[in-house]
Structure 1
Amino acid sequence: MEPLGYDELLLIYDKIHNVHDRKSFYQASKQILKVACIHLRELDIGFPDLLKDVLPSSPNMVKFKCNKRLSNTYMELLARSCPNLRDLRLGIEEDLDPHKAAYELGEFDFNDDGLCVVVNACSRLNEVDLSGRLHVGDVGVASLLQSCTGLTYLNLSGCASITDELFKLIGKSWSLRHLCLGGCMVSDLGLEYIAKGNLRTCLQKLHMDKCDNISKNGISSLKQMKELTDLKLSNCGVNITDSEILALSSIKTLEYINLSWLIDAANISSSHMDSSSMEPSVVNLAGCKTLTSVGLCSFAHHPRLKYLSLFSCHDVSWKDVEYVVSTCKSLVYIGLSRRIKTPMPKEGFNMSYYHHNWRTIFWK
C-alpha cells in the first residue's frame, strides 16, 4: 500500500472541523506530510497553519497559491523555502478592511516588507497576483519589478495603496504582457507613464475596470500602445464618454474590448471601431443603456466580430438584432436583455442560422 500523498492528507484535513481534532491529525501526519512534499511542484492551500511544515519540505515548488491572509512571517518562510518559484498567486478572495485586517494569530496580512523578502529571494518569478492585498504599496511592487526582470503577468487589482509614481516604474518594463489594475487609483498621469514607456512595445492585455479617475487625456495616451490586443474599461465612471472611446479607434491591434457599464457614453457604435482602424472580434457593451438602434445597426457587416454582449441594453429591437446577426458572417454569440424593444422573438429562441453558421443567442 502506497503512503498517503499531500493531496490526500489535505482532503482529510479539510473534512475535520473541530480545532482540537485538526491539531491532533496535524501532529500525527506531520512526518508523512513532510515526505509527501519533497516532490511537490504546485501548492494551492487554504490553511496557512500548515505552511510551517509544508514549505520547508517543498524546495522544488514552482507555483504557490493562497487566497487567505498571510503574515510577514509566512512570507519570510516562503522566501527561505522556495527559491525556485515562478508563479505566485496571492489574490485574496475576501475584502480586507485595512482597519480590521488583524490575522487570527494577532498578526496582520503581509505588507511591503513581506513582499520584498519574497521577490528578492525568488527573482525568477514570471507571474504574480497580488489582487486585494491592501497593505501592498509602491515599495513592495517596485522591488518586485526590479528583482524579477522576466515578469510577464502582474495583477494589482484592488491594491488601493499604490500611486502614480509606481506606474512610472511599471512603464519602464520590457517584459510585462498582462497588467491588471482593476479598482486602483490610477489617474491620467499614471496611464500616460504606462503608455509612453517601454511597456508600450510589449503589453498585450490591460484591464482597468473600476478605475474611475481616468478621463480623455489618459485614454488618448493608449494610442501609443503598439501590441495591445485586450482592453477592459468596464465601470470606469462618468469620465469615459464617446470622445474617449473614439480615441481608441486608432489602436488597430485591439481584438477584445470591454466597455461595459460606461453609463455616460452616449451611443457607442462600430463607428468607433470601423474597419479602417481597429476590428475587435469580441465587444462587451453590457450595461451601456444609452445604446440605440442606430448604434447597434452600425455593427452590421463587421468583418471580424465574433462575440457581442448587449446585456442590459434595452433600447434596441429584435429587428435590429436580426439585421446585425444576418450580416456579420463571423458572429457566433450575442448576449441580449429580455427587456429589448418589441417585437420579441418567440420564447426559447436561442439559435439562428445565417451564412451556413449557427449563432448562439443568450438571454438574460
Structure 2
Amino acid sequence: MAFPVDCLYLIFERLDSISDRESFGLTCHSWLDVQNSSLRSLKLTCYVPIPIKSSESRNNSTSLSRNNRTSLETKLNRLLLRFRNLKSFTITGWSQLSDSGLSVLALCSSTLQALHLCYCTEITDLGMPFIASVFPSLSSITLSSSHVTDIGLNILTRRCTGLKDINLSGCIEITDRGISYLIMNCRQLQSLRISHCGNIRGLGFKDCSKTLTCLVAQCCKLFPEGIKGILSGGGMQFLNLSFCTGMNGDGVTFIGGGISSRLRVLDLRRCRTVRDETIAVIANECSFLQHWHLGFCLQIGLSSWESIGLNCQSLERLHVNRCTSLCVVGMQALRDGCKRLSILYTGTPNSRLSLLAREVFQSLRPEVELRNGYVESIIPKEAFFELQK
C-alpha cells in the first residue's frame, strides 16, 4: 500500500516474465487493478450450442438461445468493466450478437484502435452508426460474415477515416459501390480482405490510394478492369487472388504492368486461366517478387519455368504444388536461375518430376529446401511482415 499507483504501473511495465505479469494481481486488490487496466488486447471465442431443430423442442430451444445470449452479454459486461483500457478487442463466433447488443461495447475506451467482430453473423448496417460514433479512432476493424451492406460501410468509413486494416471476408452484400466508398473515405488504407465477396468485381478500386499494400481476394469474381483498378494506386506489395474464377488470362496480365512493380508476394493458387504469356509478363515486370504461389496452375508450361528462372532474381519462395508441367528441364531452369531461392514447395512427386531430378537439384543447389506436401495458402500478415523485416 506504500507504493504510489504510478510506481506500480512502472513496475508492471518492466516485468519481462509472463508468469510474473500474470501473478502480479495476486498480491492485493490495488495490484490487481493495475494489472487489469494495463491489459491492451482481449480475445474472446464464443461457443454457442447448436439449437435443437425438432418441432417438439422448439420452445426449449428458443429459451436456451435466449439464456445463452443473456449469459454471454453479462460475462462480456463484466470483462469490459474489468479491462478498461483496451486497444484491441476481438469477438469470434458469437452468432447471436445483434446490433442492439453492441451497446455493451460502450464500456470500452473511446481510444480503442482495433475492433474485430469475426463471424458475428447478426451484425447489420444498423450497428454501424454506433461503432462509428463510439470508436472514431479505429485503425483496424473486422466485420467478416456479417450482413453489412454498402450503405453501412459508407456510414462507418465516413466517420472512421483513419482505418488502415479492414476485413470484409464473407460479407456477400458488399458490392463495388461499397468498395468505392471505402477507397474514397479511407485514404490511409493499407490492408483489405474481401475473400468470398461474390458481388465485388474490383471496379470500385479505381484511383485507390498508394497506401494500399495488401489485398486478399480469394474466391472472388474479378473483372480484368477490376484487377487494373486494384493495382492503380501503385503501392501493392501483397496480392492474393487464389481461387478467383471470373478473371481471364488477359485480366491477370495487368499484374505484370508497371503499376505492380513493387509487388513482393503473389498468390495465384488454383487460378487455372493463368497461362505462359501471363507468367512471362509478371516474371519480367515484377522484379521485386519474393514469394509466389502457383499451386494447381495447370495451364503453364516449360516457357513459364524458363521465364521465372531467367527474370525472378529476387524470388525466395516458390510454390509449384500439383504443377504437372514441371519437368526435368523446368527444374533445371529454376536451378540455374532464381539465385536467392531458399524454399521450393514441390508438393507430391509426379510422374514427370522424378526422384532423380529432385536429387540433382538438391546436389547443385543445397541451400534450397525442397518441401513436399500441399500448402493451402500464403498467410497475409506472416508472409508480408516477414518480408518487411
In the TM superposition, residue 5 of structure 1 has moved relative to its aligned partner by 11
| Partner residue, 1:328 | 338
* Counterparts of 1:192 and 1:359, CA distance in 2: 40
Q: CA 1:77–1:223 in structure 2 vs 1: closer, same or farther (change >3 Å)? A: closer
The 2-side partners of 1:35 and 1:157 are apart by: 37
Query: For 1:235 and 1:125, how far apart are their aligned partners in 2?
Result: 31
User: What are the within-5 Å matches in structure 2 for residues 159-238 of structure 1?
Assistant: 159-172=171-184, 173-188=186-201, 191-196=202-207, 199-212=208-221, 214-237=222-245
Which amino acid in 1 is paired with 2:224?
K
Match of 1:19 in 2: none
Indicate if the aligned counterparts of 1:41 and 1:60 stay in contact, CA closer than 8 A.
yes
Query: Percent of aligned pairs with the same residue?
Result: 19
For residues 334 and 244 of structure 1, the distance between their equivalents in structure 2, rounded to whole angstroms, comes to: 27
Aligned residues of 2:302 and 2:326 also touching (Cα < 8 A): yes
Alignment of 1:224-303 (within 5 A): 224-237=232-245, 239-250=246-257, 251-267=260-276, 270-276=279-285, 278-301=287-310, 302-303=312-313
Alignment partner of 1:55 is 2:68: no
**1:35 Cα offset (Å):** 8.9
The residue type paired with residue 83 of structure 2 is S
TM-score (norm 2): 0.73
Q: Secondary structure at the match of 2:254?
A: helix
Count of residue pairs the alignment pairs up: 316
Q: Tell me, which stretches of 5 or more residues in structure 1 are unaligned? A: 9-31, 102-108
Paired residues of 1:83 and 1:122 also in contact (CA < 8 A): yes
Decide whether aligned partners of structure 1 residues 158 and 224 sit closer, same or farther in structure 2, where only a CA change above 3 A counts: same
Superposed CA deviations along residues 26-50 of structure 1, whole A, max 9, x for unmatched, are xxxxxx9999744432111124441
Query: Residue 277 and residue 316 in structure 1: after superposition, are their counterparts in 2 closer, same or farther (change >3 A)?
Result: closer
Shift of 1:164: 2.1
Q: Give the structure 1 partner of residue 318 of structure 2.
A: 308
Distance in 2 (alpha carbons) for counterparts of 1:140 and 1:90: 15
Structure 1's 353 and 118: CA in aligned 2 closer, same or farther, altered over 3 A? farther
Are positions 1:136 and 2:148 aligned together? yes
Deviation of the 1:322 alpha carbon: 3.3
CA distance in 2, matches of 1:187, 1:152: 20
Paired residue type of 2:77:
K
Q: CA deviation at 1:289?
A: 1.5
**What SS does the corresponding residue of 1:45 show, helix, strand or coil?**
strand
**Residue 64 in 1 paired to residue 64 in 2?**
no
Q: State the distance in 2 between where 1:276 and 1:73 align.
A: 50
Query: Helix, strand or coil: the match of 1:114?
Result: helix
| Cα distance between partner residues in 2 of 1:139 and 1:5 | 48
TM-superposed CA distance for 1:337, in Å, is 3.2
Of residues 112, 116, 121 in structure 1, which corresponds to 2:125?
112
State how far apart, in whole Å, the 1-side matches of 2:34 and 2:315 are.
Answer: 53
The root-mean-square deviation of aligned C-alpha atoms, in Å, is: 3.0
Decide whether aligned partners of structure 1 residues 343 and 286 sit closer, same or farther in structure 2, where only a CA change above 3 A counts: closer
1:362, CA displacement in angstroms?
A: 1.1
Q: Per the alignment, do residues 187 and 122 of structure 1 end up closer, same or farther by CA in structure 2, a change over 3 Å counting? A: closer
* C-alpha distance in 1 between matches for 2:107 and 2:319: 47
Structure 1 length-normalised TM: 0.77
Listed as ranges, the matches of 1:91-106 within 5 Å are: 91-92=118-119
Distance 1:200 1:35, change over 3 A: closer
Are the structure 2 counterparts of residues 244 and 299 from structure 1 closer, same or farther at C-alpha, using a change threshold of 3 Å? same
Question: What are the Cα deviations for residues 234-287 of structure 1, in whole angstroms up to 9, with x where unaligned?
Answer: 1110x3232222222112111111111112223366412244555411111111
Is contact 1:240-1:265 (8 Å) kept? no
Contact 1:282 1:305 (C-alpha < 8 Å) held by counterparts: yes
In 2, the alpha carbon distance for the partners of 1:246 and 1:333 equals 26
- Return the alpha-carbon distance in structure 2 between the equivalents of residues 265 and 170 of structure 1: 29
Which residue of the partner structure matches residue 105 of structure 1? none
Question: Residue in 2 aligned with 1:44?
Answer: 43
Residue 338, structure 1, aligned to residue 348, structure 2: yes
List gaps (5 residues or longer) in structure 2: 1-18, 24-30, 47-71, 374-389
One-letter identity of the residue aligned with 2:344: I
Q: 1:265 to 1:275 in 2, by over 3 A?
A: closer
Q: Which residue of 2 aligns with 1:25?
A: none
8 Å Cα contact 1:76/1:114 also seen in 2 = no
Is 2:115 the counterpart of 1:88? yes
Structure with the largest fraction of helix: 2
Q: Does 1:156 align with 2:173?
A: no
CA distance in 2: counterparts of 1:308 and 1:243, whole angstroms: 23
1:230 & 1:299 partners in 2: Cα distance?
Answer: 18
Cα distance, 1:314–1:55 mapped onto 2, change above 3 Å: same
SS state at 1:201 partner: coil
What are the superposed Cα offsets for residues 37-78 of structure 1, whole Å, 9 maximum, x if unpaired? 444321111244410211133321111011122233431110
How far does the alpha carbon of each residue in 1:174-215 deviate from its partner, in whole angstroms, 9 at most, with x for none?
110011111113444xx233132xx33221111111112x22
Change (3 A) 1:59 1:276: closer
State how far apart, in whole Å, the 2-side matches of 1:267 and 1:341 are.
Answer: 21
Q: 3-state SS of the aligned residue for 1:300? A: helix
